[in-house]
Amino acid sequence: MDKEENYLELKKFCVDEGIDLFGVADISQVRDEFKIAPKVAQKLDKAICLGVMLSAAVLSEIDIVPTKLYFHHYKIVNSFLDHIALRLCNIIQKKGYLALAVPATQIIDWEKNVGHLSHRKLGVLAGLGWIGRNNLLVNEKLGSQFRIVSVLTDISLKTDELSKKDCGECKACVKICPSGAVQDNPADFDHVKCFEKLKSFQKQRQAEQFVCGICVNVCRGNKK
Q: Which residues bind ligand B12 (CB under 6 A)?
A: 74, 104-105, 107, 113-115, 118-121, 124-125, 131, 134-137, 144, 146-149, 191, 194-195, 198, 210-213, 215-216
Burial class (CB in 10 A: 0-12, 13-18, 19+), 3: middle
Please tell me whether residue 197 binds ligand SF4 under the rule CB under 6 A.
yes
From CA 207, how far away is CA 198, in angstroms rounded? Answer: 9
179 counts as binding ligand SF4 under rule CB under 6 A: yes
Residues shown for the chain: 224
Q: Compute the distance between CA of residue 222 and CA of residue 183 in angstroms, rounded to an integer.
A: 16
Of the candidate spans 48-56, 98-106, 155-163, 214-222, the one that interacts with ligand SF4 by CB under 6 A turns out to be 214-222
Identify what 59 binds: ligand B12, ligand SF4, none; CB under 5 to 8 Å per kind: none
Strand order in 146-153's β-sheet?
21-26, 46-53, 146-153, 99-102
What pairs with residue 99 in β-bridges?
153
Instruction: Give the span between the Cα atoms of 107 and 111, in whole angstroms.
Output: 10
Name which position in 123, 194, 206, 207 contacts ligand SF4 (CB under 6 A): 194
Residues 87-146 that bind ligand SF4 (CB under 6 A): 132-134, 138, 143-144
List contacts with ligand SF4 (CB under 6 A).
132-134, 138, 143-144, 167, 170-173, 177-179, 181-182, 194, 197, 212, 214-215, 218-219, 221-222
